[in-house]
Structure 1
Amino acid sequence: MLDGISLTVGVGEFVAILGPSGSGKSTLFHLIGGLLAPTSGRIVQDGSDVTGTKGLISYMPQQPALMPWRTIEENVILAREVAGYPKGESLKLAREWLDRVGLAGYEQQYPHVLSGGMQQRASFARALLSPQELMCLDEPFGALDALTRQDMQNWLLELWEANKRSVLFVTHSIEEALYLADRVYVLSNKPTRVLQELKVPFARPRREEIMHAKEFQLLRQELYESLKRNSVEHALEVGEAK
């Protein structure tokens, strides 16, 4: 259950949503994408009420969700096909982007040939090629091992800084949120509220070394304490309700 959640994403801004498992982070994406209708409140895009309207966001799920019977380039152009763009034009664009994301030579391969990290790159290229301005990334690196995850974070930052799409990024990793985002919304346990909105103070372009800086560690501890305090309060409330 969401309780009075209010979020904004500016043009070209990278915003992270940070919260414990089960706090409703993915539900928010379903509301923004029009798959669910809120019992109250509304979704506004470019000044217009778009509550319940589908097809207005580019979405990258937790798993790559590539169709096994389509080649990599055919997977990448899927959103453009659905939107009615010419296939030849879309394939040309897909090949250019597959080269940029390090998948040149894999255009005609099928998903099972690619590693987990490579599949996530293909999934991200598909999201980038979608015509929608807002990209919603739902814990896209959560299933990867630590080293691959860090590589993917660095890769995502490099691509985003070159293109500056509007991004709403769901994660349960404090470090990931601080490393990637311009702003971070910290969510509570259910009923889900915004505990904190933090403007990340680190300059861009941002590099991996920032995670070792004292200021980064202090902010990490601040967010950790906020989540921990809420978790304890939530457990006490649940215990009293029994």
Structure 2
Amino acid sequence: MSKLELRRIHHGFTSKKQRVPVLTDISLHVNDGEFVSIIGPSGSGKSTLFHIIGGLITPSSGEVWLDDANVTGSKGLISYMPQQPALFPWRSIEANVALSQEVAGQSRAAALEKAREWLPKVGLGGYENELPHVLSGGMQQRVSFLRALLSPQEVMCLDEPFGSLDALTRQAMQSWLLNIWEQNKRSILFVTHSIEEALFLSDRIYVLSNKPAQVIEELVVPFERPRQEKVMTQPEFHELRQHIQSLLRQEMMS
């Protein structure tokens, strides 16, 4: 069981001797095996929130809880996938995938064996010994996701992982991610700018305000799983998209 909970997180930065608030009273949770998305205006502090969850930043106030333990400021307890693949160019594909397991204390031989087992499952069989530069952007993102998936931490934080991909590749990656997640049901907290992406992937969505960010609405996504792309054509999908779009538009105008 892996449940992530943020309790009344406040944070700010000092700029030119002035305190600039970034996050205000953020409370949210991700249940075991749940896919939760965060969506908000650009610069609303979503990445800062991930840094707090990962223990890279200690919040001004508030707490991070994982499996009923206060882990505020603790590192190494979540699996993280950044906006860019962040692959080591001198390491082979299998060695890049194995890295998270090695860092967690697994032997290199065991980590490589696991990587070789999984690469064909995500459509990368035959690329084990290639270097990252030979792969397309979407394929590199698969490597990055697999590295995060095979790390021992149960909670995964994905920070706009498909934001730099073209529209067709992005849609294909969304379906691919959903298929892999349906098989494993890790607890995922996903940051995105795309309303459609959040609705297609998530069980619940937190909508954030402008900076200083606070939760302005929590939505339960009503579509059944396993989820197919045709859900995007349903009237309820469009109604929810328009509702979230309206919330974000109001924030941008305020």
Please indicate the TM-score interval, normalised by the length of the shorter structure: over 0.9
- TM alignment of 1:31-180, pairs within 5 A: 31-180=52-201
TM-score w.r.t. length of structure 2: 0.91
Partner of 1:2: 23
What residue in structure 1 maps to residue 221 of structure 2? 200
Report the aligned-residue RMSD: 0.6
Q: Does 1:30 align with 2:73?
A: no
Aligned residues: 233
CA distance in 1, matches of 2:252, 2:209: 8
Post-superposition Cα deviations, 1:145-204, rounded to whole Å, max 9, x if no partner, equal 000000000000000001100000000100000000000000000110101000000000
Amino acid at match of 1:188: S
CA distance in 1, matches of 2:112, 2:239: 46
- For the residues of structure 1 that align with 2:235 and 2:117, how far apart are their CA atoms? 40
Matched residues in 2 for 1:161 and 1:84: separation? 27
Residue identity (%): 67
> 1:231 deviation in Å?
1.6
Q: What amino acid is the match of 1:162?
A: Q
C-alpha deviation, 1:142, in angstroms: 0.2
Counterparts of 2:41 and 2:67, CA distance in 1 = 30
Q: Which residue pairs with 2:3 in the alignment?
A: none
Off by >3 Å, runs of 4+ in structure 1 = none
SS at match of 1:52: coil
Higher relative CO (Cα under 8 Å, sequence separation at least 6) belongs to 1
Which one has the bigger helix percentage?
1
Q: Which residue of 1 aligns with 2:33?
A: 12
In 2, distance between residues paired with 1:142 and 1:55? 25
Structure 2 counterpart of 1:102, which letter? Answer: G
Partners of 2:175 and 2:211 in 1: CA distance = 32
Structure ranking higher in strand proportion: 2
Q: TM-score, normalised by structure 1?
A: 0.95
Deviation of 1:112 (Å): 0.4
Q: 3-state DSSP class of the match of 1:5?
A: strand
Q: Distance in 2 between matches of 1:185 and 1:220?
A: 13
Runs of 5+ in structure 1 lacking a partner?
A: 234-242
CA distance in 1, matches of 2:143, 2:212: 35
